[in-house]
Structures are given as structure tokens and as C-alpha cells.
Structure 1
């Protein structure tokens, strides 16, 4: 029997496994490393987060993105976006050096068992463990507008379904959404010669501003401290104090989770997007029907206005929502009894990321309703790995754990800690 099984081998799963192994736990990790980044994002995409905010977490803070970049002979500089494929390669490098060996089989079910849980793999092998971490990423939680759900895949898809956009060369594509995934997908399509339009409910597109230098005068840092989620005190709360966020009332957390850090494009994308992509703002898809191998969209607008668009394909870049009803791999007797955060439908987690079912822990997007927006980004992996592994040890009756590593990680890389860039004058 294992002490811990980690389901998922993305940034959160790998980070938790690295900390668990160092803590002396008998840990098993399942999943194809960095699969979401390799299989669900096309070449040419970049991370929105800064390089120093995109580290996976190991107890020694040694296997950082900057360390990997050094092995490749390239710098990881503030203000320079990181290619998604480079980040995926970094994750594989981390997996091979900082984490236990990864079993790349899929997990199809997690159910109660003697002394803990039985985790069943896709080929039918049962694996018995005392505790489980669900670090399953975003793919189970895809959001698609109701109007598109009845269309076949050749006519409508989610942005995460595409690791290659060349199938749309020379065609007409409509992208739905106003966030980074929508805007970057549209820009990539336009750059390869696709006729593309963006349809969004919002009245205007939002764009992130160019990040200021890490070293700034005291008054500038006081007005807007650097954080792993951008500048500003509200972002500081989300990025550096997820434990404090968790102590907010459930209704507040549910509201903030759905509204904070809303749809916006990266500053470096704006020039590529504007003038290259047609935009229809203040409109939503009222209906979508097949029409001679294409899709006929009826768009509802402000004041009850209605218009029609015909397109070859619709890409919904409409995000992900971590609700319990989409946790198909979790046995109903566990899933149906889990406590949720307000009316969000997302699972509640303790201060150590344990769900209301003893021994079942949550990481990544699944923990965002409890701990806030940082859990939607790689930046939250360090806080998660540290606190979650402590929780596992307590559950197993081996209290203790390594001290907090946020400051150690920052010292190793001269990164901002709690809003203050290292090396800056206090």
C-alpha cells in the first residue's frame, strides 16, 4: 500500500510528488507529464506569467525555470514571454530530475478501499493507497456555450482541443471569448492565413499592461507591488496569501473565484491582434446550427439586436469550471458527499488542501474555489506542495514537514517576496 498516490503529472502533480518524496512518503504518481501543455496548446503560444512566476516546486528550489533555461544557454528574463513548448520541455526536465518516476497510465477511477483508496488504471490494475491527491489539471472542466454543445467536433470545438491549428488554414473560423486563449488563438489563426473573427459578450477587450521593472522606487512598489499574478495589492492577496483567502466567507470566495482576474489579453499580444482579427463585441451565440457543412450562428446583441454569421468552424475559448459533477473518475459515494464552496459547485478544501472526505486532497484548479485565483496558475504550485504534503503527513500520523520554501525559492532566484523585489531597498 502506498502512502500517497498523485493523479496527474502536470506542474501541480509533479510539485506535490517532489515534496512528498523528500518527506519520506511512499508515493506513486500517474499521468503523462505535462500532457495539457503538449497536447492541448498549439505551437506559437506563450505563457502570460513571468518566468520567475512559472516555476514548478521542489524542496530545494533548485529545479527552476531559470535553471532549466541555463542548461539550454538562454536567459529567463523578466518581461520576456516564455514559449509554451519551452515551458513544457522544462516540466519534462523537472519530472526527470526532481520528481519520483512517473507511471504514464491514465487513472479511470478512485474509490474507497481498505485503509484508504483503490486507484484503478486504464488497463484495469488496482493500486491501493492511504491517501490520494487529485491534480488532474483543467481538461475535465471544459466550458462550452450551450448553443454549441450539440454540434459535431468538425464544426465546433474548445480551444484546448487543438495542439495544431494548421487544419484551419484557408478557412473561416469564429473564436468565442475575450480572454488570452481566445485572443491568442485568433492571432495565431490570422497569422497562418485563416479568416478569423472573435465574438465576445464584453463591450470592450481588456489588455494587460507592460510589467514594470522588478527594481523600482519605494513609492512605486508601495502603490503596486509585484506578485506572481501581476502588480497590485489585490493581486498580492491572491498570489501571496491564499491561506488568508481561504478564510474569507464561502459566498465571497465563490464570487471572487468567478470574477477575479477576468478575461484579458497579454500586453505582448495586442500589436499582433489588433488590425489582424475582426472583433464583434457585446454579442453572444443565441443558436448554432449546421448549414451545408458550415455553421450558421445567430448572434444576440445589445438591445435585442440579432444578426447571422456563417462560418466553417467555431472555437470556444470559454475557459474551465471545476465543479464536482465533472469529476467522473471519483466514485459517486465519495463525490456526492463532498462539501462545496458556496454556490460554486467546486469542492471545499481544508487549510492543507484536504477535501471533506478524509485522505482525499485537491490541487490545482480543483482547489481554486477554496484558495483563490493563484491556483489557476503555475505560481500556486509551491504553496500547494508545501501545505498539502504537510496535510498528508498529518493524515498519516507523521506530523511535521519541511519549513516554508517561498522565501528560499525567492532567495535562490532573487525573486519578489511578498511584493518586494529581492535586492531592492526596503
Structure 2
């Protein structure tokens, strides 16, 4: 059975939910397909603390905010920083209830052209047709493990952080984490607290500083893009690099100070300025040699090596769409309204980072993206 709509939103994470709320408030005809906050629920570990602040809420109309959610629960923002993952997910569920968003909980298995519009085939075999489509999927398809790691570590012993969120499975295990940014250190802390026997971290750079990150400048910058959506693309290459470096400094060159006391424990061992050089299988585990000469006895390896956009890895884009789609450095080429060169096909969230700046890999970009894109879709 076919169901027609003006706009199809694929993905029910923060960017999809924010956009849907904007469109619903303006009586726009849309369909939202996906499992609400699935990546956050299934691929982030329990007990995780978020770097985002309480002001990074989802509502582009600023009605259903995290502060309002906390007030209704009788809690203050001062008591809840850093923000626990579980509380953020509770906020998202509350947001969905308050906005009464109609979410079709299934997967799009293929998206293809259909005349002047698009046809989405769903997991149950049914089709949904729309004049325009927004791909608002997040990080899942873009997990990155460098060849230098994947070619050395046996597949059965290696997991990306995306797939290493069941921390109880590492109890009494010796775990090597490859990577040295926030996620690597937080996984190390959580693994130790979950009962891992030993946690080693190997990373190529110096140990980042445990100090408070300053995100205050980002919100004003991203909010300003609502009125100047082409701001980032009009910067020179040097000016773009300045913005990337500034965000990199806050997000990658610093570790949250609340991690320090959880890291500097006897079970956690840091190996800065090192890489894995050789791996051999031994009875009951692995012998890992670092280029520093250190040898580690390891049961499991976790790659905290981040995510890299390659739009070709989205499993539901048809071959014909991919052939037509203009792609640079793995990112879709977008105009100032988030539209690709394929008329009617838009991309939000992480894949919009090249066109709009790296801020759109963070939830702080949700409201700005929803307002810019929503106005375009709604013909405002």
C-alpha cells in the first residue's frame, strides 16, 4: 500500500525530531520514519555523561526545552551538569510526547527516484512516496576504524565504540582502547567501573588536558546561521580552518575534568604517543606490541577512532541516486537550504558538516538546521 506525503524525514534522532516538530507546528504534510533516538539508546553505554549543556534542547520554537522538562520534574539545571545520557533520553521521550510527533517506527530499506519525487521502500515491503526527502540519519553508518588497526587486530577481538556499549561483557577482561579523545577516556572510565581487570589506552598524541571546555561561543554562531545560512560556505579556506580548529580545541584537545579522578586509577594505564605495531594471538588472548616497545596482554580491543562521513555507506540510497549525487570528500554537496544537487533531496545532521561547518555534528546544531531546512521545505 502506498502512502503519499509532501515530505519524508528519514531518521528519528535529534535532527529528525527537531525538524519534524518545526514542520508540525506549521501544519506541513510530512512523514517521519525511524526508531526514536535509536543510536543513543543502542550504541551509547549506560552511565555515559554528555558534553552538551542543558541549553542544547531540540525545539526550534523554544517551547519544549530541557529546562522546562527539568522544572516539571522539580529538578534544577545546576544539579544536573554534566548531563547524564539517561536523563537526556528521558527528555527526548518527553519532547516526543509533548509535541505528539507521529513517528513510523520502521526502517527505509531503499530510497529511489519516482518521477519528480521519491519512493521509499520500508522494511515491511510497503512503499511511501514523497515529493521531497530529508535524510536526517546520524553517525551509525560512518564508524571509522583505521586500516592500521583493523589489519592487525583479529576481527573477533575488535569492536568500534559504536558496538562496544555492553560494558558488562568486559568484566574481568583486559581491554586495549585505541584512541585518546573524550570517548576513549570515557569508555575507559566506564569499563573500569564495570569491572574490567585492566584498561590500556594507546594514542598517537599527548594526553589532552582535563579542563572545562568553553562551548559558549558556538550557540551564538550557530543561531546566527538561521539568518545567514551561507555564512560558513562564504568563509575563505583559512577562515574555515580557524573555526574548525577552535571547535577541535574545545572538543578534541580537552577532556572533561570530571573524568580525571575516574581515570587515574591503578587499573587504567595511559600510553601517549604510541601506536599498535604488532599483534599475535596467544592462548586466552592477544599479545600487543606498541611502537614504544611495550608489550600488553589483551583480551579485547576497542577502537575509539571516531566517525567519518562517507555518504556512499548509507545502505538505503539506491545506486541510481548515488550515481546522480554530487559528493566531495564523502559529503554530499549542499546548497544554502541543505538541498543536494538532486532536486528535492536534502541532508541534515552530520553529513551537513562540510557545507555548514563541523557544528552540525553536535546537537547544538539541531534547532538552527530545523529552522533553516524547515523554512525551505515549507516554502517560507
The 8 Å contact of residues 60 and 368 in structure 2, kept in 1 or not, is answered as: no
State how far apart, in whole Å, the 2-side matches of 1:123 and 1:252 are: 47
Unaligned runs of 5+ in 1: 212-224, 230-235, 394-398, 401-426
Report the CA distance shift for 1:295/1:349 in structure 2 as closer, same or farther (over 3 A).
Answer: farther
State how far apart, in whole Å, the 1-side matches of 2:341 and 2:243 are: 22
The 8 Å contact of residues 177 and 301 in structure 2, kept in 1 or not, is answered as: yes
Write out per-residue CA displacement over residues 368-406 of structure 1, whole angstroms, 9 at most, x where no aligned residue.
11111211111100100000012223xxxxx31xxxxxx
Hey, what does 2:261 align to over in structure 1? 271
TM-score, normalization: structure 1? 0.79
Shift of 1:252: 6.8
Shift of 1:335: 2.0
Write out per-residue CA displacement over residues 232-277 of structure 1, whole angstroms, 9 at most, x where no aligned residue.
xxxx646754742232357975896598425232122122222352
Hey, what does 2:324 align to over in structure 1? 337
Report the CA distance shift for 1:145/1:29 in structure 2 as closer, same or farther (over 3 A).
Answer: same
State how far apart, in whole Å, the 2-side matches of 1:210 and 1:254 are: 19
Shift of 1:83: 0.4
Report the CA distance shift for 1:193/1:306 in structure 2 as closer, same or farther (over 3 A).
Answer: same
Hey, what does 1:316 align to over in structure 2? 303
The 8 Å contact of residues 222 and 368 in structure 2, kept in 1 or not, is answered as: no
State how far apart, in whole Å, the 1-side matches of 2:81 and 2:327 are: 38
SS across alignment from 1:51: coil
The 8 Å contact of residues 223 and 368 in structure 2, kept in 1 or not, is answered as: no
- The number of aligned residues is 368
Report the CA distance shift for 1:73/1:162 in structure 2 as closer, same or farther (over 3 A).
Answer: farther
State how far apart, in whole Å, the 1-side matches of 2:243 and 2:326 are: 18
The 8 Å contact of residues 51 and 77 in structure 1, kept in 2 or not, is answered as: no
State how far apart, in whole Å, the 1-side matches of 2:245 and 2:140 are: 18
State how far apart, in whole Å, the 1-side matches of 2:344 and 2:359 are: 23
State how far apart, in whole Å, the 1-side matches of 2:154 and 2:243 are: 34
Hey, what does 1:98 align to over in structure 2? 99
State how far apart, in whole Å, the 1-side matches of 2:246 and 2:287 are: 31
Shift of 1:323: 1.5
State how far apart, in whole Å, the 2-side matches of 1:243 and 1:70 are: 36
Is 1:38 paired with 2:41? yes
Shift of 1:359: 0.8
Hey, what does 1:325 align to over in structure 2? 312
Shift of 1:119: 0.9
State how far apart, in whole Å, the 2-side matches of 1:107 and 1:287 are: 41
Which residues in structure 2 correspond to 1:19-168 (within 5 Å)? Answer: 19-52=22-55, 54-59=56-61, 61-77=62-78, 80-98=81-99, 100-149=101-150, 154-168=156-170
* Structure with a larger share of its residues in strand: 2
Write out per-residue CA displacement over residues 9-49 of structure 1, whole angstroms, 9 at most, x where no aligned residue.
01100001111122222111111111111111111111102
Runs of 4+, deviation exceeding 6 Å: none
TM-score, normalization: structure 2? 0.88
State how far apart, in whole Å, the 2-side matches of 1:131 and 1:123 are: 22
Report the CA distance shift for 1:85/1:320 in structure 2 as closer, same or farther (over 3 A).
Answer: same
Report the CA distance shift for 1:73/1:154 in structure 2 as closer, same or farther (over 3 A).
Answer: farther
Hey, what does 1:396 align to over in structure 2? none
State how far apart, in whole Å, the 2-side matches of 1:298 and 1:147 are: 13
State how far apart, in whole Å, the 2-side matches of 1:152 and 1:122 are: 33
SS across alignment from 2:184: helix
The 8 Å contact of residues 199 and 280 in structure 1, kept in 2 or not, is answered as: yes
Is 1:204 paired with 2:189? no
State how far apart, in whole Å, the 1-side matches of 2:203 and 2:79 are: 31
Unaligned runs of 5+ in 2: none
Report the CA distance shift for 1:210/1:12 in structure 2 as closer, same or farther (over 3 A).
Answer: closer
State how far apart, in whole Å, the 1-side matches of 2:87 and 2:156 are: 30
The 8 Å contact of residues 202 and 281 in structure 1, kept in 2 or not, is answered as: yes
